[in-house]
Chains A and B, each alone.
Chain A
Amino acid sequence: MARATPRPLMGITALVYLFLHVPALVLVAFSFNRSRFSVEWTGFTLEWYRRLAERGDILRALRASLIVGLSSTVISTVLGTLIALALARRRFHGRRLYEGALYLPIVTPEIVVGISLLVLFAAVGVPLGLATITIAHVAFSISFVVVVVLARLRGMDRSLEEAAMSLGADEWSAFRRVTLPQIWPAVVAGGLLAFTLSFDDFVITFFVSGVGSTTLPLLVYAMVRRSIEPTVNAVSTLILLVTTVTIFLTDRLGRARRGRTA
C-alpha cells in the first residue's frame, strides 16, 4: 500500500492503545506507592510486597492456584493433544460435527459453565475443593489446546511422516520421532494457554471452590470487595507478571514455529 496511513487514524489508534494498557500500568505503578489511603504519589516503597510475603492467606492462595494450574494444564494438554491427533490424522464418522462441538465450551458463558458444574457436584455429593476446581479448569481448557495443536498439525508437512513410514517405521515410532518433535512447540503453547486460563479464572472457580480452596483470583476478589488498599495492587501486579511472561513465551513459540515453516 503506497499511501501513508492517515494521521487521524494513527491518533485514534494511539488513544485505543492507551485505553487498553494505561489502567493496568497505573495499577502496577501504585503498587510501589508509599501512601496507604490516597492515590497521591508520596514516594517509592516495596512495603506492600513485603507485607504480601507475610500474609499466610496470600501464600496459601498462591499455592492453591499453582497446584490447580499445573495439574489442570498437564491433564488438559495431554487430553487435548490426543483429540487433535485423532481429528487431524483419522477419519471417522461425524468428525466435522465433533470439531464444531469442541467450540461449545469456548462460547458457553462462564457463569453457565460454573453453575452447572456446581449443580452437578451438589447432585452427586462431591465435596468442593481443589479437585473440583481442577476438574472444571480441565473442562474449559481442553478445547483451547485442541485448537492450537490442530492448527499446527494441519499446517504440517505430512511427507516427512510418510517418508518415515515407507522407510519401515511403524506408526508409533513415526509419531515419536517425526510428528511429536514437529508439533512440540504447539503442544507447549497450548499448555501455556491452559495454564494462563487456569491461573486467571475467576467466574467458574468462584462456583466450584469450597472452604479452604481459595485460589489467588478468589482472594483478590474478596480483597477488592472489602477495601481498596495497596496490597491488592501488589497481588494484582504479581498476577499480571505471571500471565504476561506466560503469554510472551507462547508468542515466542508461535514465532519460532512460523519461522521454521517459512
Chain B
Amino acid sequence: MIRRPLLRRLARRPGALAALQLAPGTGWLLLFFLVPILIMLAYSVMPRGEYGGVTAGLTLEHYRRFFDPLYLRVVGRTFALAGACTVLSIVMGYPVAYVIARSRRWKHVLLFLVVLPFWTSFLVRTYAMIFLLRDGGLINTWLLHLGLIHRPLTMLYTPGAVLTGLVYGFLPFVILPVYASLARLDPALLEAAESLGARPWAAFRRVTLPLSLPGLIAGSLLVFIPALGSFLTPDLLGGARQLMLGNLIENQFTTARNWPFGAAASFILMAAVLVALLVYLRTQDRAPGEEPG
C-alpha cells in the first residue's frame, strides 16, 4: 500500500495536507462554477455575434438596453412579485414559527412537515398548483359542482397564480429562521414583562417581536433571494405575459439567441441577489435583539 505512508509523510506537513484536502473540491467549483460565471461576465460586455454567441470587442450596449421601458417593466415585475411573496410569507410564516416554538410534544413533527416541502421536487409541487388552478382543475370543478360559479374562473396564467406558486415554494424558508430565533428566546423575559404588568400583546410587541427580528430579516431575505431568481414558477404558472427576469434570461439564450444581452440580464439579477445577500450578512453579524439600523 502506497497510500498510507504517503499520507503519513504529508501529515507531518499540515499545510500540504490542507491543500490536498481542499484541491479537488475547490478545483471543481472553480472550473464548473466560477469560470462559467466569469465567461458570462465577459459575454455581457461583448458585441452580439451573427449566429448567436459573441464577437470580439467591448461594449456596454447590453446593459444600456435594460433602460428600455420594456425591460424595466420586467425588472419591476420581478421585484414586485418577489417583494409580495416575501410579505405574504412573513404574514403566513410568523404565526407558524411562533406556534412551533411554543409546542412541546409535536415540535419535531411540525418542524419535519415544514422541512419536507423545502426539499421535495419544486417541479412536482408547481405541477400540483397547475392541477388545482387550471380551468378544468380541481378548484374549478368543485366550485362548479357547488353551484358557486357557472363558468370556470381563470386562475392559471395570472399574476395571482405566480404569486401563489412562489409563496407555496418559498414559505418554509421564512418559518425556519424565525422559529430558530423564537426558540432561543428566554421565557424569563416574558415572565418579567408580565409581572411588570405588560398585557400579552404588549409583551409580544416589545419583547418577542424585537428579539425575533434577526430571524425575521434572515427569513425574509431567504425568501426574497430565490424568488428574485425564479424561472420555473412564472414559466409554468404565468404564461407568456407574466415574464420575470429568469424567463427573460432563458429566452435570450434559447429563442431570441441574444447571448450577450442574456448574460447582461444574468448579471443584473446577480447584482440584486448579492445586494440582498450583503444585507443578510450584515444583519447576521449583529447580536440578536440589537436594533437594526
Interface of A with B (CB < 8 Å)?
1-3, 5-6, 9-10, 12-13, 16-17, 19-21, 23-24, 26-27, 30, 38-40, 78-80, 82-83, 85-86, 90, 92, 98, 100, 102, 104-105, 107-113, 115-120, 122-123, 135-136, 138-140, 142-143, 146, 170-172, 193, 196, 199-200, 202-203, 207, 217, 220-221, 224, 228, 232-233, 236, 239-240, 243-244, 247, 251, 255
Contacts and interface: CB of A to CB of B under 8 A. Distances in A.
Contacts of B114: 20
B153 interface: no
Interface string B247-280: 0011001000001001100100110010001000
Given A112-B269, A116-B40, A239-B124, A104 B33 contact: yes
A123 B25 CA distance: 23
Given A82-B25, A139-B28, A236-B124, A16 B92 contact: yes
A23 B21 contact: no
A39 B141 contact: yes
22 contacts: A1-B102, A1-B187, A16-B92, A19-B168, A20-B114, A21-B113, A26-B128, A26-B132, A79-B25, A90-B15, A92-B18, A107-B225, A119-B263, A120-B35, A170-B8, A171-B8, A199-B121, A200-B119, A217-B121, A239-B124, A247-B116, A255-B108
Contacts of B132: 23, 26
B43 A23 contact: no
A229 to B, nearest CB: 11
Interface of B: 4, 7-8, 11, 14-15, 17-18, 21-22, 24-26, 28-29, 32-33, 35-37, 39-40, 43, 53, 92-93, 95-96, 98-100, 102-103, 108, 110, 112-117, 119-125, 127-132, 134, 136-138, 141, 168, 171-172, 187, 190-191, 200, 225-226, 228-229, 231-232, 236, 246, 249-250, 253, 259, 262-263, 266, 269-270, 273, 277, 281
